[in-house]
Amino acid sequence: MSTPSPALIPVAGPSITDREIDYVRDAAENGWFENAGLFHERFERAFAAATGRRHAMALPSCTSGLHLALAALDIGPGDEVILPDVTWIASAAPVSYVGATPVFADMDPESWCVTAATIAPCITEKTRAILIVDLYGSMPPMDEIAALAGRHGLPLIEDAAEAAGSRYRDQPAGSFGLASAFSFHGSKTLTTGEGGMLVSDDAEFFARCQFLRDHGRVPGDVSFRSTEVGFKYKMSAMQAAMGLAQTERLEELIARKRDIFAAYAARLGGLPGITLNAEPDGVLNSYWMVTVIFPERFAGRKPALMAAFRERGIATRPMFDPLSDIPAFAQTPQAQVARGRNTVSYAIAPRGLNLPSGYNLGTEDITYVCDMVEEVLQAGPE
């Protein structure tokens, strides 16, 4: 049997090189006064190019990008926004921020993302937007969903927080719908420590988002006489500098993520009873998080599973529980409906774990984690 690393194997971790350090040092030394926006502009141009978008806006989080998008669409009380049931609360929270109602759609059993078929039953006369999530680097059938949204006259917003570098039919994640938002949290494929980006091709919509993100001021305004109450959603020059360096290394970072997944798949892909992340037809998965769905006998045992791996020196994360089952939403009428409708979400999420997926993983680490997955499988739920 292989041996564990001396310390707990972390579930995530960035790849930081001299390029990032040099750019951040440059921003810290020179990103002031007339150069205050230089690294932002460079980062935004590079990221817009990477996603095939015309416009990009550096922000403090993906959540802020989704919030701006909904606010710019004037979505509010009495409106509904459809989104996946299985995702992080950050996808749904902005819907609540604007006073609208989140409606939770079921997942596809292969991609773990929503589909046109799971979204369609959720559309009502109150629906104002569809928000899809590229879960763990996978992507939904965007052409079918875009066609559905088009037939109903609904804007499509892409939460690509976890999918920088993924592609659908050779189009990059972040290039779909009215707008897309990304996360650059420290655990993500591309990081600025904390941060995000909103991208779009619609100049009028983007201008509205720019206005709202700086306390209701027109970009460049120095009068301090805001015409609306807006938000304060900006990124520092040092973060933008790191983001630029990471964007310039995006292909290298995605290749490393795919190598990590391939190493896991070579060991775990054939084990009976478990499922790993899929790469559906037409999708290039960036595999942000290597995820294992354990056999049905492990359903509801995620805390025990995580404890078992921690005892073996391995940090894990639970697959997101359905939003309709977490305390923040569980008592809402839409959550009660979703719990009866979203059978796939409730079958899969209770037995999924994210395995260590950071760039710092060595071959011995992956071998050891795979050994421990086999050991835990044999031992059964504790």
Nearest to 322 by CA among 303, 296, 345, 351: 345
- Determine the pLDDT at residue 221: 87
For residue 231, give the amino acid letter.
Answer: F
> Considering the entire predicted model, what is its pTM?
0.96
- Determine the pLDDT at residue 189: 97
- Determine the pLDDT at residue 6: 52
Domains of the chain plus CATH, in order, are 18-248 (3.40.640.10), 250-379 (3.90.1150.10)
Separation between Cα atoms, residue 144 and residue 147, nearest integer Å:
5
- Determine the pLDDT at residue 258: 98
Q: What is the pLDDT of residues 173-201, one digit of tens each?
A: 999 999 999 999 999 999 999 999 999 99
- Determine the pLDDT at residue 3: 55
Nearest to 59 by CA among 187, 167, 161: 161
DSSP secondary structure code for residue 208 in this structure: H
Which pair of tokens denotes residue 89? 């609360």
Weakly modelled stretches of the chain, pLDDT under 50: 4-5
C-alpha distance from residue 85 to each of 66, 131, 147, 257 (Å): 17, 11, 21, 26
Separation between Cα atoms, residue 236 and residue 117, nearest integer Å:
41
Backbone angles phi, psi at 339, to 5 degrees: -65, -30
Pairing state between β 179-183 and 156-159: parallel
Sign of the dihedral through C-alpha 62, 67, 69, 72 = negative
* Sheet strand arrangement including 317-318: 275-276, 291-293, 352-354, 317-318
- Determine the pLDDT at residue 123: 98
